[in-house]
Structure 1
């Protein structure tokens, strides 16, 4: 009996996280209400504070869930990393990262630390795949990965704003062509 209750509790929690992630991506954090989330999840709005304490707690759960997805995607050093990144930004759920980015850059933003961790994880994953001998002369792995992650975030933002104007396949081919030999390969 207790096991089923725990399972229902976890299912409810996940439904709320999923609904909130979709709504935050569509409307932004500040414009999304408990009522919106509860209706989308088809769960009582009283469940939100019960599971998460408050809206910020729910947002943190959404970002933790998304960060886990990023780390899982890029944690395995198999496959072509550029293909993985470009495939990842095409996922509908990644719109959330662009929607909330403007809120994350505010100094007092409650999600600033989550974005700092996300970007650090992306840089760390990229650095692990860059052989030092493949870097252009005069560059460091740290600086190169900041540039590479910034490029991907910028491409992602441009594509989300004007998908008809950004050919992701052409951009991927261009990034690959610009990478020094040995980078961007499995």
Structure 2
């Protein structure tokens, strides 16, 4: 027997979505370690006690944020626009800032987000391997790592000094370097 969704189920899902959206924004702006339950709850407009109820703890909330971003990024690569234009459009999205902010924390040996970020990079490399054929004689894994690294580096440079990095010009340069 299929159970019908209730108003409570709808409110629960909406609360969860609001908390993930607020955490995504705050993690992008302030980092994981400098964002508190209070900050997230205030931005979401939801009681801070809802965070452990939905996610167990702050790391559980981070996992939900990373999963949502993985779905958005990999879904974009695997579906609607795996083109260079699609990648460059993604770099420009305000929410993409999260990846650069988390990277700074993820490289620390004791970072609680290190493994989650490694999983994100692995998913990005896999999406690139499926979307972009490697050059002849170049191993697919190395090629995917190079392209993901180039986009991450480009994204970081643009976020730090947007006046110094012309994304349209860079896109055309990448287009000239890639086969096809």
Query: How high is the TM-score relative to the length of structure 1?
Result: 0.89
Query: Is the partner of 1:89 in helix, strand or coil?
Result: helix
Instruction: State the Cα distance separating 1:55 from its structure 2 match.
Output: 1.1
1:49, 1:7 → 2: CA distance? 19
Counterpart contact for 1:130–1:141, Cα < 8 Å: no
Following superposition, the deviation at residue 120 of structure 1 comes to 1.5
Q: CA deviation at 1:93?
A: 0.5
Residue 70 (structure 1) aligns with: 73
Q: Return 51-60 or 105-114, whichever deviates more.
A: 105-114
Selected match of 1:38 from 41, 54, 59: 41
Q: Deviations over 1:20-42 (max 9, x none)?
A: 11011111111111111111011
2:4 is the counterpart of 1:5: no
Structure 1 partner of 2:21? 18
Match of 1:146 in 2: 145
Question: Residues of 1 paired with 2:48 and 2:81: CA distance?
Answer: 42
User: Which is further off, 11-20 or 122-131?
Assistant: 122-131
State the number of aligned residues. 177
Deviation at 1:139, TM superposition (A): 2.1
1:21 touches 1:62 (CA, 8 Å); kept in 2? yes
Instruction: Verify: 1:127 aligned to 2:129, yes or no.
Output: yes
The secondary structure found in structure 1 opposite 2:14 is helix
Candidates 72, 87, 90, aligned match of 2:89: 87
RMSD: 1.7
Alignment deviations for residues 59-111 of structure 1 (CA, whole Å, 9 cap, x no partner): 111111111111111112x6452111111111101100100101112223222
| SS in structure 2 at match of 1:44 | coil
Check the 8 A contact 1:49/1:55 in 2, yes or no: yes
Q: CA deviation at 1:2?
A: 6.7
Q: Runs of 4 or more off by more than 6 Å in structure 1?
A: none
TM-score normalized by structure 2?
Answer: 0.91
* Structure 2: runs of 5+ lacking an equivalent: none
Residue 117 (structure 2) pairs with residue 115 (structure 1) = yes
Which residue number corresponds to residue 56 of structure 1?
59
